[in-house]
A and B are shown apart, each in its own frame.
Chain A
Amino acid sequence: EVQLVESGGALVQPGGSLRLSCVASGFTFSNYWMSWVRQAPGKGLEWVANIKEDGSAEHYVDSAKGRFTISRDNAKNSLYLQMDSLRAEDTAVYYCGREWPIDYWGQGTLVTVSS
């Protein structure tokens, strides 16, 4: 059974940093692109970033460029999202997903940016 489990969400002050993790199981992680998608409270889905199977390519939504970094460790079946210079508008539930398109989603982890 495919499972994706996110962790690392927390309450953080504006300007702070946070690292999200997503542990995958039930499939060959190194064979798939992976994505992060977020959803602000009461809002729609927003794709944030993705990374190629071997980590050799990454893409970001404009609002994340220069602040967020996606990475992966295929030996640990893990996906990461390093988020720096966080803003109030980054407050959201963050989902990791197996691509493409996203056929499996994690349950999400809540990031709240507030003073």
Chain B
Amino acid sequence: DIQMTQSPSSLSASVGDRVTITCRASQGIRSYLAWYQQKPGKVPNLLIYAASTLQSGVPSRFSGSGSGTDFTLTISSLQPEDVATYYCQDYSTGLRTFGQGTRVEI
């Protein structure tokens, strides 16, 4: 089975900072990678799919890149409302493994 490893597990940054979260797959998954945001007490929300395609309604400060085994989620200018835990997910096979999450604080 494919394992998804995110880093870091948590980070603290200032408003306006550029924030980068990485996700590594244990084997190649082409571009079948999604990123989700989960704010405290809320349901997860799809941010990016196909590694780099922004879901409708998601602010353009979010972007994704990568293919194969290494992927990145970037927040170009961190905002207070971006405080959340972010998860990557592989959907290259029938199994849909999540990374362990990255908590972003300000």
**Chain A contact residues, CB within 8 Å of chain B:** 35, 37, 44-47, 50, 57, 59, 61-62, 95, 99-103, 105-108
**Chain B, interface size: which category?**
20 to 34
B83 contacts A by Cβ under 8 Å:
no
Nearest to B34 among chain A residues (CB) is: A101
Give every chain B residue within 8 A of A37 (Cβ-Cβ): 44, 98
Distance to closest chain B CB from A72 (angstroms): 15
Q: Mostly helix, strand, loop or mixed at chain B's interface? A: loop
| Inter-chain contacts of A107 with B (CB < 8 A) | 43
From B44, B97, B99, B100, give the contact of A102 (CB < 8 A).
Answer: B44
State whether A47 touches B89 (Cβ < 8 A): yes
Question: Residue B85 contacts which of A44, A46, A47, A99 (CB distance < 8 angstroms)?
Answer: A44
Apart from A44-B99, A44-B100, A103-B55, what 8 extra A-B contacts exist at CB < 8 Å?
A: A44-B85, A45-B36, A45-B38, A45-B89, A47-B89, A99-B91, A101-B96, A105-B43
